[in-house]
Structure 1
Amino acid sequence: MFLWHYLTLLLPITVQICKAQRCEEFTDLDLAHAIIGTSLKIRLLLHTRENVTCASLLSHTNMSANPQFNVSKPTTFVIHGYRPTGSPPVWVLRFPSLLLAKGDVNVIVVDWNHGAANVNYFKAVENTHKAADNLTAFIKMMQEHGASLSSIYMIGVSLGAHVSGFVGANLNSSIGRITALDPAGPQFRDTPPEDRLDPTDAQFVDVLHTDVDALGFRQALGHIDFYANGGADQPGCPKTILSGTSYFKCDHQRSVLLYLDSMEGCTSRALPCSSYKEFLDGNCLNCDRFGAAGCPVFGYGVTKWKDVLLSLGQTSTYFTTNSVAPFCMTNYGVEVMIWNEEVRWGYMTLKLYSKGKVAVATINHKASEFKKFTVTKLLARFDKDLQSVEKMSLKFSTGNPLKPQYKLRVLRIRLTHLERDERPLCRYDVLLKEKEEVTFRPIPCEESNF
């Protein structure tokens, strides 16, 4: 009898402990759900430094039921996009751990898979406004309990970018920041600002474009817009439909991977430019307008440039990436002067060597023109950053196998690191035979210029 009485007392306590330790997971649906169609239901999954990998479910209507949620801390919302097959995003668990490593914040993964999982894309678009209204009501409840709107950060992926914008507009542009990762294009192109994300939706809006020619949005939408690899075809993504679903989603999904990479310390310096072509041609190497900080770096840390970007108005920038992580590349300005009597056209490959490592840059987007005693300016994008350069190599090619092979007599080549304040490297009087790699040790440039 005593044992039975003891167990009846212990059982409710055990149940409460189990409830407290339960880890909530993102809704996992399948294609059948998407075909039938799902009605909107939103779950708010909270991660904190006390439960980085074990999410707890928040109440939408009763803040006292959320004792683990500290409204005095900054809050970051992560909002996914369209889920045509109903599966959870592959990146859903990486965001909380990386964001919490950056700061002691509340990370809320907004699970609206019921509503985003639908083969009818138009229905999912319709649900973006409803999802935004739901989040707006929750944030207003946060505000009533002491939360500051300026400390709210929203990271929206695809459709989630526009959900973030609608929330910001509902709250009169008072939230601190919105990061939009390849905002959805279909059904949002050629619409007025109130029907999509725009710069007035938050105190600061930064946008990444990776699939402007298909699932993404081409025009600038933020205070700063980053166009990775021109904003369209991403390196390493399939080029033909034979690759299956990856052909359709790889470029679009790359936006998330680039952002996560930026939080892991892979920095991509972006250059303001009028077009991707001008960027590749090396015509946009001047970063003076941004002051001592130089050109902005894509990703989590771009708020360092917030004040100057707000003063400049909308700014479009470009950067390039590797095909796999780490995605960040390193930019050098290159100046080449030759003393061949005749004009030469061609491509150049540069390699830098340091402590057994090799960084490679191939300038082949178009044939460059080299004239006697004329400086040809190029942008070299190396696949990695080397802290010190022990030697380098050059290779010149015309790209035309039918013509006789030329020689390029380089009077001077000058390399300037665009991301670190260090003395440029030079080499004088180098003879390049077409398709033959020449290796040498560079030296600090002389003060005088040609």
Structure 2
Amino acid sequence: MAGSGSTRHHLLQWTVSLVLITWAGFFLPVKAQDSNLTCSDFQTSGIFQDNELQVQFLLFTFQNQNCGHFINLSKPESIKDSPFNSSRATKILIHGFRALGTKPSWIDDMVDALLGAVDANVVAVDWVSGSTAKYNQAVENIPRLSNKVAELINRLLELGVTEESLHMIGISLGAHAAGLVGQMFGGRIGHITGLDPAGYKFKKAGPEERLDPRDAIFVEAIHTDTDSFGISIPVGHVDYFINGGRDQPGCPSVRHLYGFVICDHMRSVTIYITALRGICSFTGFPCPNYKEFLSGQCVNCSVSSPLACPRIAREEILANPRTQIISQEAQVFLMTTSKDPFCAHHMLLVFSLTEPRDSTITIEIELKSETSSSKAKVSIPNGHVEGRTVLAHDVPLCELQTAVLRYPGSIIRFWKGKTEISGTFCVSEMPLKDRNELFCLPNTITLTGNSRHSFNLEADGRLGCHNPTLAKKSNTQTNSPPTGPTNEILTTTQVSNPPI
């Protein structure tokens, strides 16, 4: 995505200045059908209003999934006479900065996804009045907002709710508000999820002023915009850096102004909702940094630790955060595709030369399925024989049909007479099953400069989908094999002591 973080901040301010939202207050309450409940909705605010902090809590359960029940903390009966059930887990949603003073567009989808994943009470914290237009003022309101949320939790504890059953989900500024609430309860809150926690005003803040692993039994954060609105440092027990934590594929260019400004930041919310709905699995791979991850150095999952390759919105975490107690924090990396729902299978690509060359070799690789394709480049440094990279594809390995390899030529190589390279090509879906398993073309291949060479990867059972359902699906499909210069089929090769 083009443009720096500061450019996007200026663009956001310019966009806000063009919008005149001068009305405020609650939407008129309406009666819920077939219920004695009165439905309430979010407040609205405007950029020219005083924007004083006003907090309201809206309860959603399976019984009133589309009807927010207003919880009045000064009237205990507003909870007792509601569908709230203290034996259920309780999810508390806290939104972030509101540029235009409107209800967050993702609230309804998040409530629906949470209630679809677990039987729970979902409380949406509405602080639109207090978070609109003036970012610095919204930051200053965070401590008071946290006090209000803590007051809510104390009311719930009086009704028999346990601290461990509480799960706070904070978006942007809301993530740090959740952290402050967690501090107030001595880190005994069960679970905090930070969705792209805000970076501005918080990156240099101390742990007591922002989200921190000590704020709950289990703290996780999903990072998607670390070069602009999101924080770039780890703030949880597990920090997911999606696509390296920045420049999300599929986000629009500057020509689509509002989407360009906010897309990366909000991708964390979309990913979390998708994971809750079970549409696909977003698995992270522990690695020192994104560069090493992309170079194929972090492709395994340790069998000794359940957190070696954690998954976003795992059922076990949602049900019991204590299943994720760990002794040290972890940074994990993963990739997505560019199209909603952004599901991706990670492929490790390896090309090994028959002999080292005196210059860096770059090989372009494209993996094709029946409906899509993904591209990556493998670089082999001067004097080395092996190059690796990781590629994201929207189908599993056993549904891939063709690999297209190209060795770009150059004038220098032409004059030196080095227009060909030979070697072996291997691919495997991550995580590798047993650390040394790769699926390789059975014969040495020769790539001629600038020519495209196609190889058939038609699944015949030997590629082994990680998902048995998908494997069955692939093995029963009838697809015409793609044509090309060669018609190889991958075979399983045990590579001794691969550097992974």
Match of residue 22 from structure 2? none
The change in CA–CA distance for 1:394 and 1:96 in structure 2 (over 3 A counts) is: same
User: Aligned partner of 2:339: which letter?
Assistant: V
Match of residue 163 from structure 2? 149
User: Aligned partner of 2:103: which letter?
Assistant: P
* SS of residue in 2 equivalent to 1:445: strand
Match of residue 375 from structure 1? 386
Structure 1 residue 290: deviation in Å? 5.1
Match of 1:425 among 427, 439, 451: 439
Number of residue pairs aligned between Structure 1 and Structure 2? 425
Equivalent residues of 1:362, 1:380 under 8 A apart: no
CA deviations 1:348-396 (Å, max 9, x no partner) are: 223154xx444x33223x7443867x333x2332321236246431312
The change in CA–CA distance for 1:97 and 1:308 in structure 2 (over 3 A counts) is: closer
Match of residue 206 from structure 2? 192
Match of 2:244 among 230, 253, 263: 230
Match of residue 361 from structure 2? 345
The change in CA–CA distance for 1:15 and 1:82 in structure 2 (over 3 A counts) is: closer
CA deviations 1:276-309 (Å, max 9, x no partner) are: 1111111222322654775112345473996686
Structure 1 residue 143: deviation in Å? 0.6
Equivalent residues of 2:439, 2:493 under 8 A apart: no
Match of residue 136 from structure 1? 150
Equivalent residues of 2:299, 2:432 under 8 A apart: no
Q: Distance in 2 between matches of 1:16 and 1:99?
A: 21
Match of 2:455 among 431, 439, 449: 439
Match of residue 51 from structure 1? 64
Equivalent residues of 1:83, 1:116 under 8 A apart: yes
Structure 1 residue 403: deviation in Å? 5.6
The change in CA–CA distance for 1:187 and 1:19 in structure 2 (over 3 A counts) is: same
Match of residue 209 from structure 1? 223
CA deviations 1:193-246 (Å, max 9, x no partner) are: 111111111000000111112111111100011111111211122444x43233
1:35 is aligned to 2:48: yes
Gaps in structure 1 of 5+ consecutive residues: 1-13
Match of residue 124 from structure 1? 138
Equivalent residues of 2:356, 2:382 under 8 A apart: no
Match of residue 5 from structure 2? none
User: Aligned partner of 2:277: which letter?
Assistant: E
Higher mean C-alpha deviation, range 396-405 or range 222-231: 396-405
* SS of residue in 1 equivalent to 2:65: coil
1:409 is aligned to 2:422: yes
The change in CA–CA distance for 1:382 and 1:388 in structure 2 (over 3 A counts) is: same
Q: Distance in 2 between matches of 1:256 and 1:281?
A: 28
Q: Distance in 1 between matches of 2:86 and 2:397?
A: 43
Equivalent residues of 1:179, 1:207 under 8 A apart: yes
* SS of residue in 2 equivalent to 1:381: strand
Higher mean C-alpha deviation, range 38-47 or range 176-185: 38-47
Structure 1 residue 120: deviation in Å? 2.0
Higher mean C-alpha deviation, range 393-402 or range 320-329: 393-402
Q: Distance in 1 between matches of 2:223 and 2:362?
A: 31
Match of residue 334 from structure 1? 349
The change in CA–CA distance for 1:38 and 1:148 in structure 2 (over 3 A counts) is: same
Structure 1 residue 81: deviation in Å? 0.2
Match of residue 11 from structure 1? none
Match of residue 333 from structure 2? 318
Higher mean C-alpha deviation, range 315-324 or range 173-182: 315-324
Structure 1 residue 188: deviation in Å? 1.3
Equivalent residues of 1:259, 1:300 under 8 A apart: no
Match of residue 191 from structure 2? 177
Equivalent residues of 2:347, 2:397 under 8 A apart: no
Equivalent residues of 1:331, 1:380 under 8 A apart: yes
* SS of residue in 2 equivalent to 1:189: coil
1:295 is aligned to 2:295: no
1:77 is aligned to 2:124: no
Q: Distance in 2 between matches of 1:165 and 1:347?
A: 46
Structure 1 residue 83: deviation in Å? 0.5
Q: Distance in 2 between matches of 1:18 and 1:27?
A: 25
Structure 1 residue 147: deviation in Å? 0.5
Give 1 or 2: higher helix fraction: 1
Match of residue 243 from structure 1? 256
Match of 2:114 among 99, 106, 113: 99
CA deviations 1:236-279 (Å, max 9, x no partner) are: 22444x43233221211111111112123221221111111111
Equivalent residues of 1:338, 1:371 under 8 A apart: no
The change in CA–CA distance for 1:167 and 1:79 in structure 2 (over 3 A counts) is: same
Q: Distance in 2 between matches of 1:337 and 1:370?
A: 13
The change in CA–CA distance for 1:316 and 1:70 in structure 2 (over 3 A counts) is: same
User: Aligned partner of 2:492: which letter?
Assistant: C
* SS of residue in 1 equivalent to 2:275: helix
After superposition, residues 385-400 of structure 1 pair within 5 angstroms as 385-386=395-396, 388-389=398-399, 391-398=401-408
Q: Distance in 1 between matches of 2:168 and 2:411?
A: 53
Match of residue 282 from structure 2? 268
Q: Distance in 1 between matches of 2:411 and 2:147?
A: 62
Q: Distance in 2 between matches of 1:156 and 1:226?
A: 15
CA deviations 1:410-437 (Å, max 9, x no partner) are: 2x22222214748642202222233413
Equivalent residues of 1:261, 1:325 under 8 A apart: no
Percent same amino acid at aligned positions?
27
User: Aligned partner of 1:375: which letter?
Assistant: E
Structure 1 residue 341: deviation in Å? 6.2
Equivalent residues of 1:46, 1:106 under 8 A apart: yes
1:23 is aligned to 2:39: yes
The change in CA–CA distance for 1:169 and 1:351 in structure 2 (over 3 A counts) is: same
Structure 1 residue 129: deviation in Å? 0.9
Higher mean C-alpha deviation, range 338-347 or range 142-151: 338-347
Q: Distance in 1 between matches of 2:271 and 2:419?
A: 40
* SS of residue in 2 equivalent to 1:249: helix
CA deviations 1:41-84 (Å, max 9, x no partner) are: 11111111111122211122333222221122110011100002
